[in-house]
Structure 1
């Protein structure tokens, strides 16, 4: 075993690659942990935190044992940067949580409301006074995974509408469309 650890190929290629992969994993887990904390999922966050720190300690231990190898420093830093990027991609892909979309428009608001409601979205419609006259203000709570579909509808039926999107931490009630796709079906239908 000591022969493998003292081999130059291991020290200069394999070890830095392992450190790089460990950093990608621990930083990605850290990004997900922060996401789960912000979404109020308190049970999963500590478990992810445990594995995040365990992997970090293993990587750091290997660096401390190889202080004369600059490739481990580069691998550690590159793993951090890559892990941050991958963590962001994972967070976007999971698209967990609820958001509120606020739409302000001066024309064709009724048609947009009808289409959104027909798609299963809950929409609150208000008449308001804007800078340039009367406007319609629409509010809708949607799942983050539905943002692309929802904004496509806005662009199709009211392309000049102004809208903003914000994350929502907690919702007591709401009208949400049924799932559009089934990822996995149960193996049995019941007892």
Structure 2
């Protein structure tokens, strides 16, 4: 292989791909740290830094090749984007969806419960009228389904979604699996 092919094309591509990999792993590491997954976080961190050291070592070995700098920065940017996409696909953990309905909430409550979601209902007082406040804890994978049902049944309802670090018990639809429930991640969740 010609030296210019390696230093001008192959090395920048490898640096770009390495940065995508290490930044994606870094994004996943931050997510598992926030979820309290004590075993997964250091494993991801090990591979993240190992890949980063290899990439930065190539940069320092070839300081005069400015194409490597662009590949390094581009890989960082692309790695952030890909890391977010991977996290959205995996959708680990649970979220609480809070829904405030000012009109009759019985249809929405029945629909959510009929779909297998547990719903807690409280009376509330809005600025101008009484309201119902609904809480449901769902797998993050199911949040779009809940929001779709809210928009269909109560399009003027206010809702908010918040991630939950830890929860116990609950009512979740049976038969629905999610990538976050992969055996590997189940093991890491224990973290003991």
1:48: Cα distance to partner?
Answer: 0.6
Q: What is the aligned partner in structure 2 of residue 87 from structure 1? A: 83
1:182: Cα distance to partner?
Answer: 8.4
1:138: Cα distance to partner?
Answer: 0.4
Q: What is the aligned partner in structure 1 of residue 144 from structure 2? A: 148
Which runs of 4 or more aligned residues in structure 1 lie more than 6 Å from their structure 2 counterparts after TM superposition? none
Cα shift readout 1:72-117 (whole Å, capped 9, x = no counterpart): 1110000000001000100111111111111001113011101110
1:155: Cα distance to partner?
Answer: 1.0
Instruction: Name the CA shift for 1:170/1:17 in 2 (closer, same or farther; >3 Å).
Output: same
Q: Which has the higher relative contact order, 1 or 2, with Cα contacts under 8 A spaced 6 or more apart? A: 2
The one of 14, 18, 21 equivalent to 1:18 is: 14
For the residues of structure 2 that align with 1:92 and 1:146, how far apart are their CA atoms?
12
The one of 50, 55, 65 equivalent to 1:54 is: 50
Cα shift readout 1:125-170 (whole Å, capped 9, x = no counterpart): 1111110111011011011000111111111111111100111111
The one of 127, 139, 156 equivalent to 2:135 is: 139
Larger of the two Rg values belongs to structure: 1
Provide TM-score, normalisation by structure 1: 0.90
Q: What is the aligned partner in structure 2 of residue 103 from structure 1? A: 99
The one of 110, 116, 123 equivalent to 1:120 is: 116
Gaps of 5+ in 2: 180-192
Gaps of 5+ in 1: 184-191
Q: What is the aligned partner in structure 1 of residue 185 from structure 2? A: none
For the residues of structure 2 that align with 1:181 and 1:83, how far apart are their CA atoms?
27
1:173: Cα distance to partner?
Answer: 1.8
Comparing 164-173 with 17-26, which one deviates more in the overlay? Answer: 164-173
Q: What is the aligned partner in structure 2 of residue 130 from structure 1? A: 126
For the residues of structure 2 that align with 1:73 and 1:139, how far apart are their CA atoms?
49
Q: How many residues align?
A: 179
1:29 aligns with 2:21: no
For the residues of structure 2 that align with 1:182 and 1:106, how far apart are their CA atoms?
33
Instruction: Name the CA shift for 1:29/1:17 in 2 (closer, same or farther; >3 Å).
Output: same
